[in-house]
């Protein structure tokens, strides 16, 4: 099966354990929107794991029966991997999982940002459900409330024939237990097949990213004293360095820029604030699109805080001015640009 522009092709992806997946049909530039799809059926991730098998099956069966016929038919065509897993768990063979097995085998979280309630809601989708998980994905799923659908964006360049992958784990961390418990699979992505010592350092960095992000967010939420502002922006710089080391350019980078925007702009430094806002805008535009919730929210905040009119043309002119300013600053500051941007002057002295 291929879509109309052959952006992607659904079919065998050359991995023995996951059968079908999506491959790029053409060379895809980072920032390309690959897919917009509304879920056929939705539930919460905990429902799948916390409900006893029989109860789960009867609940999902009932829900499926209430779906419009054409939707139910599409849903029932999705592969059910449960019988395969049941072979490994003979104690479960007395149950049938004709319906709930489809949900468990095909559910995808709407988004992974815990702060935005991501990873809690899951759904099954005609095409999107066929995208495989990777611990180092090249695409991102996002719930778009305006479209009432999930979008998939390539956030890295993807070469023709390369597999398109997303992460299924909240915060996109590598969590074997989570994947096993919730989605019943052991990941075999390229990253997971790398030698253990190669993965260990990256694992530590990623765990550190989650911890530091939470810490930074809590600091900002609690309200920052003048002294805390220095601590917070230093913490943000350290988080930025970790994201860079791990080559993470998805929504986590956008969220970090937004945190920096909160720290510096609303507390008096409009020059840095404008730059962080523009950087955040670009990351979210790239990963989620101009009509995404994040981009629309950032635009509204920028208009309000910096007194830009709501006319799109004025907004684009304003953005262009800030981008020019940012380019000039980079030229002037050279290697010290990050210290400038992350406001080294106010970091704690010790």
Tell me which residues touch Zn ion (CB under 5 A).
135, 187, 189, 191-192
Q: How many CA atoms lie within 13 A of 323 on its CB side?
A: 11
Using DSSP bridges, classify how beta strands 121-124 and 41-44 pair: parallel, antiparallel or unpaired. Answer: antiparallel
For residue 135, the SS3 value is coil
Smallest distance from Zn ion to CB 141, Å = 16
Smallest distance from Zn ion to CB 91, Å = 28
Smallest distance from Zn ion to CB 147, Å = 29
For residue 163, the SS3 value is strand
The CA distance from 236 to 338, in Å, is 11
Smallest distance from Zn ion to CB 199, Å = 9
The CA distance from 21 to 165, in Å, is 8
Smallest distance from Zn ion to CB 97, Å = 25
Q: Which is nearer to Zn ion, 197 or 226 (CB)?
A: 197
Helix ranges restricted to H, the chain:
45-50, 53-66, 69-76, 82-88, 100-106, 176-183, 196-222, 226-245, 251-264, 270-288, 293-306, 312-333, 337-341
Structure tokens at 274: 């404008």
Smallest distance from Zn ion to CB 188, Å = 7
Q: At residue 262, what are phi and psi to the nearest 5 degrees?
A: -60, -40
The CA distance from 108 to 114, in Å, is 15
Smallest distance from Zn ion to CB 179, Å = 8
Q: Which is nearer to Zn ion, 78 or 189 (CB)?
A: 189
The CA distance from 123 to 3, in Å, is 21
The CA distance from 297 to 232, in Å, is 23
Q: At residue 320, what are phi and psi to the nearest 5 degrees?
A: -60, -40
CA 122, 108, 129: angle at the middle one, nearest 5? 130
Q: How many CB atoms lie within 10 A of CB 159?
A: 12
Smallest distance from Zn ion to CB 140, Å = 16
The CA distance from 89 to 315, in Å, is 58
Q: Which is nearer to Zn ion, 160 or 194 (CB)?
A: 194
Give CA 30 to chain center in angstroms: 14
Residues sharing a CB contact under 8 Å with residue 265, sequence separation 6 or more, in sequence order: 272, 273, 274, 276, 277, 305
Q: Which is nearer to Zn ion, 131 or 189 (CB)?
A: 189
Q: Which is nearer to Zn ion, 74 or 192 (CB)?
A: 192
The CA distance from 37 to 130, in Å, is 12
Q: Which is nearer to Zn ion, 193 or 328 (CB)?
A: 193
Smallest distance from Zn ion to CB 32, Å = 23
């Amino acid at each position: 099966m291929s879509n109309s522009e052959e952006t992607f092709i659904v079919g065998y992806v050359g991995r023995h354990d996951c059968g079908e997946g999506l491959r790029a049909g053409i060379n895809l530039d980072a920032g390309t929107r690959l897919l917009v799809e509304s879920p056929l059926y939705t539930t919460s991730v905990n429902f799948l794991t916390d409900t006893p098998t029989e109860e789960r099956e009867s609940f999902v069966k009932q829900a499926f029966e209430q779906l419009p016929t054409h939707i139910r038919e599409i849903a029932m065509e999705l592969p059910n991997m449960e019988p395969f897993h049941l072979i490994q768990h003979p104690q479960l063979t007395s149950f049938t999982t004709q319906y709930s097995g489809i949900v468990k085998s095909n559910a995808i979280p709407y988004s992974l940002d815990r702060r935005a309630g991501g990873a809690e809601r899951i759904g099954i989708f005609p095409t999107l459900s066929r995208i495989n998980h990777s611990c180092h994905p090249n695409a991102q799923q996002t719930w778009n409330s305006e479209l009432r659908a999930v979008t998939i964006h390539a956030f890295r360049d993807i070469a023709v024939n390369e597999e398109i992958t997303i992460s299924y784990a909240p915060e996109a961390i590598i969590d074997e237990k989570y994947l096993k418990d919730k989605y019943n699979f052991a990941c075999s992505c390229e990253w997971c097949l790398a030698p253990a010592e190669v993965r260990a350092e990256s694992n530590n960095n990623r765990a550190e990213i989650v911890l530091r992000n939470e810490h930074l967010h809590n600091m900002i939420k609690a309200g920052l004293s003048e002294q805390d502002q220095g601590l917070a922006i230093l913490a943000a710089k350290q988080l930025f360095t970790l994201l860079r080391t791990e080559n993470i350019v998805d929504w986590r980078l956008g969220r970090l820029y937004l945190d920096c925007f909160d720290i510096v702009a609303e507390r008096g430094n409009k020059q840095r604030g404008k730059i962080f806002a523009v950087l955040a805008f670009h990351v979210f535009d790239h990963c989620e699109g101009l009509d995404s919730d994040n981009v629309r929210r950032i635009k509204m905040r920028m208009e309000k805080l910096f007194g830009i009119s709501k006319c799109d043309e004025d907004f684009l002119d304003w953005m262009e001015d800030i981008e020019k300013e940012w380019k000039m600053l980079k030229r002037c500051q050279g290697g010290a640009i990050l210290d400038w941007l992350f406001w080294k002057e106010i970091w704690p002295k010790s």
